[in-house]
Chains A and B, each alone.
Chain A
Amino acid sequence: MYVQLETVYSFAHANASSDGIPGISFRGADDIKSERRTDDSGQRVVRLYDTLRPSLYRYLINSGISPQDVEEVVQESFLRLYRHIQSGGGDENLRAWVYQVAHNLSCNLHKSRRRLIDAPPEMWEHLSHSTPDSTPGPEELLLEKERYSRIRDGLSKLTQLQRDCLNLRLEGFRYREISEILNVSTSTVAGSLRNAMSRLVKGCV
């Protein structure tokens, strides 16, 4: 687990995918080999798309991207990944690579179309009707709703960077990975997470 983290990734060109990182790869004069690799990379991208799509959805929705834009961001990210791989880009931690591209794309959206960080009405709808499987009593629902409201209010007071750090941390990225995705230092990540949690957690000042 940790071993992977020690690798130094080059994210500098992650977004400028087509001119990517020069490969060390086995892309040689051998046509058959090259073609095989192409097929591989297409399938690989599709496989990654299938695997990562649900969590990317969750990430993007929580970053405030409106649902109708999410799929477009996801697809664009994976298309860039395809170009990246095709042009011999590095293979390490493609998951973080995809998240970084998705993050950058949603920053572009941010200025124009981003919604307020807010729960969709469907969720409150859902909360106001009791769910049959967990069958929480009205009090539990109320408590849940109250807790969610508190978190929502807390989130609305965070800076963009703090929210980004939290969202990526929730996706399981380590501080180092987050710092690379967001292009900030690890101590900034740690500080942002600390401040964000102080706002969200009662009695943690």
Chain B
Amino acid sequence: MKKERRFPPREARRLFDSDHLTNETLLRLLDGELTDRETDEADYHIQACWSCRSRRQAIEQGISDLYAYQEAVASPYLPPPLEHRSVFLARVDALANELGRPSPFRVWLNALYRALGPGEIGQVAWIAGLLLLLFSIPAAYFLHAPAKVSAEEILSRAQNSENASLLKTAEPVVVQKLRISVGSKTLTRTMYRDVKHHRTVSHTDSNPTGESLVRAAYSKYSLDWNSPLDVVSYRRWRASRQVHNDRVVQTERDRLTLQTTYARGNIAEMDLTVRTSDYHAVREDLRLRDNSEIEIAELSYEVVPLASVASNIFELSKLVGAVSPPPIVIPRSTHLDSATLAIAEVSAEVALHNLGADLGEQIKVSQHDDREILVEGVVDNDARKQELVSTMETIPHTRLHILTIDEAARQSASVSEPDAGNPAHSSTQQMISTPPLLDAQLNTRFPDKDQRIAYVNQALSLAQLASARAWALNRLADRHPSQEVLILNEEKRQQLQTLLSDHISALREDVRALQNQLGEILSQSSNTPAANTSVKAQLEAGTVRAPDSSGDWRDRIHRIHSSTEAIHEAVVALLSSSQPHDENDADGIEINLRTSLTQLDTELQDIDQKVHEPSLK
């Protein structure tokens, strides 16, 4: 039998790639989608060629794996439930009536009568069918009326809902009961959260082992044990991530779920479910990169006045939350080998990164006496401190010395000096007084004062964010000289790479955003020869040159850091200067700024590849 040719003639389609059959040819051959002649030709080659034969076999195996997988996915739902069938028959019937034709349901019913003899069954089936039809209307409605709420809307409404629930009481204590499942382990946890005084206390129904297993999973994925289902911390956490995709889904009639997948990091997907009635967050599902899952579901939520709670309930929390010793007791006296320390350091850095604590917060990681990793610094408040402590305390060989601002003020003598190079605290204050260099352009572009301020603030914060990123990168480069990287194990080296590349891609985004933002105001024709000024000189010194692929990644990061700093300074000078500048500087600074931004972008792209190299040293 001659098959008609269904594809373009052979000349247009290559069966072979150099000497072997292409994957497409192999697949088409398996699918019976080649012409007779092509089939003969391909078969002839396969008989002679082991390579193509084994590739064909691999594809066949892949197909049967895929088939088995799809079957397994669908099998819990098969066979389809029988009760829907009567709904369908009723709907066909209704449609037939609507179209003005005799009803097939009647026909089917008649057939049933004939088969079973007269009886009540028809009426019962009718009523059942109609009832089921009514129940199916909501489903039909949603099918045609998709819910339209944005991710941001859900989060801000959820946060408002949380805040609103607290406003009703003067000294609110949230009593929350949660079911937490990690893999097959499930426990119920009751939490008391004293909002005003930042105190949290909780107990679980599980034995200590069960609880510590769950807590270990929590800290492994850098989750905050003390604020589960807390929209504010989720938003903060989310802000430090690269969201891959957001999708809002109506999971049940009165539930909306924000499904978010993340491009990087341990957590592949985080789904937050809220009640549609009041946007109260009721559930969190996490899918981790290793495909394990964590589920947090709220069983009850109540806000009560502090006075109604037993007065000593929070006394324990100070012990539990703030200074509880790490569950694993590590001998601190012995000296550790440098590999163990280097590994612990990367773990600490990753944990800090996941908490968003490596961008400008005054937290320093260092090695102490060849014995342990010291994580020290000052944070805003007790809640943040507890967040850090609960996450960091499970990292081996790590000592924590974290104080709140209040605590630090009290014992100001004993706190180690916060890192001097920290940019986040250095620049914001020094503005106003003298007009910025681009004052005229700003006034022309944004005649409205509020708009102008908003624009400048946005640009400044982008520049500052970029600077904080570059600073974090720079510190990583300083903390990990080649010999330290070489002794890391594979896992930690990869974590370090992820950490670097996280910062690099975030910095790239910041730089792009800054470029866009500045594009609105920078004149398109500023090509006057630049005067030699302080900022310009700095820009040139820091200017990224054509990337040479041989260089050490640390050198590049140093260069990136100083360019970013220079850019930051230029932005401040152009948009909100406080230091006196010569008017003529503007053009020069502007040109250099533009070039630097472009070159920085190139360099970042280049180093992004560099840090992914498997042989990172």
Q: Does B79 contact A (CB under 8 A)?
A: yes
- Out of A5, A116, A169, name the residue touching B261 (CB < 8 Å): A116
- Out of B32, B59, B79, B91, name the residue touching A197 (CB < 8 Å): B59
Within the complex, the shortest CB–CB distance from A15 to chain B, in Å, comes to 13
Q: Does B227 contact A (CB under 8 A)?
A: no
Nearest chain A residue, comparing its CB with the CB of B143: A72
Q: Does B37 contact A (CB under 8 A)?
A: no
Interface centre among A76, A78, A204 (most CB of B within 10 A): A204
Nearest chain B residue, comparing its CB with the CB of A123: B72
Q: Does B569 contact A (CB under 8 A)?
A: no
- CB pair A62 B96 closer than 8 Å: no
**Tally of A-B Cβ pairs under 8 angstroms:** 199
- CB pair B65 A83 closer than 8 Å: no
Nearest chain B residue, comparing its CB with the CB of A45: B92
Q: Does A130 contact B (CB under 8 A)?
A: no
Nearest chain B residue, comparing its CB with the CB of A64: B73
Interface size class of A (residues with CB under 8 A): 35 or more
Interface residues in B103-128 (C-beta closer than 8 Å to A): 103-105, 107-108
**Known contacts A82-B92, A109-B146, A57 near B74 by CB under 8 Å:** yes
**Known contacts A42-B96, A148-B69, A67 near B102 by CB under 8 Å:** no
- Out of B66, B74, B184, B249, name the residue touching A113 (CB < 8 Å): B249
- Out of A43, A58, A109, A190, name the residue touching B24 (CB < 8 Å): A190
Within the complex, the shortest CB–CB distance from A69 to chain B, in Å, comes to 7
- CB pair B77 A200 closer than 8 Å: no
- CB pair A46 B24 closer than 8 Å: no
- Out of A115, A190, A201, name the residue touching B61 (CB < 8 Å): A201
The 8 A CB mask of A97-126 against B (1 = contact, 0 = none) is 000000001001101111110111111001
Set of chain A residues within 8 Å of B449, measured between Cβ atoms? none
- CB pair B55 A204 closer than 8 Å: yes
- With the chains together, A169 CA to B30 CA distance in Å? 12
Q: Does B147 contact A (CB under 8 A)?
A: yes
Interface size, chain B (Cβ < 8 Å):
75
- With the chains together, A46 CA to B96 CA distance in Å? 13
Within the complex, the shortest CB–CB distance from A192 to chain B, in Å, comes to 10
Within the complex, the shortest CB–CB distance from B231 to chain A, in Å, comes to 22
- CB pair A69 B139 closer than 8 Å: yes
Set of chain A residues within 8 Å of B79, measured between Cβ atoms? 54
Set of chain B residues within 8 Å of A79, measured between Cβ atoms? 91-92, 95
Interface residues of A (CB under 8 A from B): 2, 5-6, 35, 38-39, 41-43, 45-46, 49-50, 53-54, 57-58, 61-62, 66-76, 78-79, 82-83, 86, 105, 108-109, 111-116, 118-123, 126-128, 147-149, 151-152, 166-167, 169-170, 174-176, 186-187, 190-191, 193-194, 197-198, 200-204
11 contacts between A and B (CB under 8 A): A2-B1, A62-B70, A73-B143, A78-B88, A115-B259, A149-B291, A151-B65, A191-B24, A193-B31, A194-B23, A197-B59
Interface residues of B (CB under 8 A from A): 1, 3-4, 6-8, 22-24, 27-28, 31-33, 55, 58-59, 61-63, 65-81, 84-85, 87-89, 91-92, 95-96, 99, 101-105, 107-108, 136, 139-140, 142-144, 146-148, 184, 247-251, 259, 261, 269, 287, 291, 293
The 7 closest A-B pairs by CB, nearest first: A42-B104, A112-B146, A201-B62, A122-B76, A58-B74, A194-B24, A38-B101
